[in-house]
Amino acid sequence: MGVDGIVPDMPPIRAPWIIDTLMDIGASEPGAMGPVPLSWGTIGQWQSCIGLELAPWLCRLLRRLSAEFVAESQNAREPDCPAPWTDITDGTNRPTVSRKVSQAFRALINSKE
């Protein structure tokens, strides 16, 4: 896993069986305009087929994880999207950082001319 042999640092998983259950059901399901979160019906049908009865809290958690998966997969299409496990700033200094980066590129371009 990784591009060009680079493996990203991943956060520790404390309950891998929950992720395994989500991946067994499927992290999302097809919708009319792309992936959508798992429906309650899909979770219920999976339980019926497997012969398990999940606790209500676990069903809610799996549905929420599925919704987060779909949302993050859409956000990840943006080139500047941070990894979901990194600390995200509140964005208050984003304009300042953006201005400084723009000025640095402008200075670099002007120095080449």
Give a yes or no: residue 39 inside a domain: yes
User: Is residue 10 assigned to a domain?
Assistant: no
- Domain range for 70: 16-88
- Please state, in angstroms and rounded to a whole number, the distance separating the CA atoms of residues 81 and 93: 16
Whether 8 maps to a domain, the answer reads no
Does residue 67 come out as left (phi exceeding 0), alpha (psi in the -120 to 50 range) or beta?
A: alpha
- Would residue 70 count as lying in a domain? yes
List, for residues 43-91, the tens digit of each pLDDT value.
Answer: 999 999 999 999 999 999 999 999 999 998 888 888 777 777 666 555 5
108 in a structural domain: no
Residue 87 confidence (pLDDT) = 63
This prediction has a pTM of: 0.66
Examine residue 112 and state whether it is found in any structural domain, yes or no.
Answer: no
In this structure, is residue 69 part of a structural domain?
yes
CB contact at 8 A, 69 and 27: yes
Looking at the 3D structure of the chain, how many domains does it have?
1
- Extract the tokens encoding 103: 């000025």
Burial class (CB in 10 A: 0-12, 13-18, 19+), 65: middle
Domain annotation covers residue 82: yes
